[in-house]
Copies of this chain bind each other. A is one copy, B any other.
Amino acid sequence: MKKFINKVDDVLVESLSGFASAHHDLVKLNLDPNFLIRQQKATNKVAIISGGGSGHEPLHTGYIGYGMLDAACPGHVFTSPTPDQMLAAAEAVHADKGVLFIVKNYAGDVMNFEMAAEMLPFESATVLTSDDCAVINSTYTTGRRGVAGTVIVEKCVGSLAETGADLQTCKALGDKVNSRTASMGVALTSCTVPAAGRPTFDINDNELEMGVGIHGEPGRKRETMREADTIVQDVVNAILDALKPTANSEALLLINGFGATPLMELYLIYNTAAKLFTEHGIKISRSLVGNYTTALDMAGASITLCILDDEIKQHWDSPVHTAALRWGR
């Protein structure tokens, strides 16, 4: 393992400190319990809080700011944060309109946020994101994982919250966006958790992991490496299967890098994916290409499609000012 780190146990705090220092105009960092909040506390709105294991940067800390999150709770690398973090963050940012937690659907995140919600002295609701269609949802599983589509949920819900909308309305939008969003990822290499010091999984030079999770969890299957177009075709098909969009749907296409995949390749993927969706009668009217929900140093990428409607479009387009997503101001 070669990484720009000092002691393995200090990685998280040193990195969070760097983030807070680089973006001191936007965020404030609290250590022990670890959470970050906007530099300027927002008033008269539902407080939007997200969090999860670290290692997916810029998710979630990079989305704190006007039009998106009020606070984020970073856990250890790939490990859900703990309820004391959510409680302290909520205490710091709630503004008498309740707290909405945006939580990626993993047993650990769900349970920790659930316990926080139970202990919270004020009203809360939770949007569970579950856009990863690599996991075929069936009665015997805990359902799909939340992956890069979470960014779209956070953006739209964050925008709505700025308008003063109430807790249930915000939750409803989050649930709607989530239900119209599907993602699937492909890994070319494994990530390496600093504390583990070695790759999470072994993969040969001629292999790819189709449907990989953003923590390096195994996916649908191990396949032979091949041309990008045929890889993208399979991912696009899985997404179409999951969403079954009607013809003439309008959509946002997000090509997300896992951390070690160059933009050159992400745009090449975009090129093919956009063509395939268009051939399927879908109008790609919004796009996002880059590292938005990463898996440490994994080489790989995911494709996310979100079927838009006027409400989602409006909240996607509205101004946002965070470290990782910024437009309109």
Contacts and interface: CB of A to CB of B under 8 A. Distances in A.
Contacts of A329: 328-329
A291 interface: yes
B15 A265 contact: yes
Interface stretch (A51-59, A94-102, A124-132): A51-59
A266 B16 CA distance: 11
A261 interface: yes
A15 B268 contact: yes
Contacts of A109: none
B299 A268 contact: no
A106 interface: no
Contacts of A7: 227
A253 B22 CA distance: 9
Interface string A279-312: 0000000010101001011010100000000000
Interface in A229-281: 229, 231-232, 253, 255, 259-272, 274
B263 A294 contact: yes
A19 B57 contact: no
A301 B263 contact: no
B15 A228 contact: no
Given A297-B260, A299-B297, A270 B2 contact: no
Contacts of A287: 21-23
A301 B4 contact: yes
A188 interface: yes
A21 B271 contact: yes
A270 B22 contact: yes
Contact of A268 (B14, B205, B269, B327): B14
Contacts of A301: 4
A18 B141 CA distance: 36
A268 B4 contact: yes
Interface string A1-14: 01111110001001
A22 B291 contact: no
A2 B189 contact: yes
A21 B299 contact: no
A228 B270 contact: no
Contacts of A225: 2
B297 A15 contact: no
16 contacts: A2-B299, A3-B228, A4-B232, A4-B269, A14-B268, A18-B267, A18-B268, A18-B272, A22-B274, A57-B262, A57-B264, A57-B267, A259-B260, A259-B262, A264-B296, A328-B329
Given A19-B267, A23-B287, A263-B291, 8 more contacts: A3-B265, A4-B268, A14-B271, A17-B271, A18-B266, A55-B262, A260-B299, A264-B296
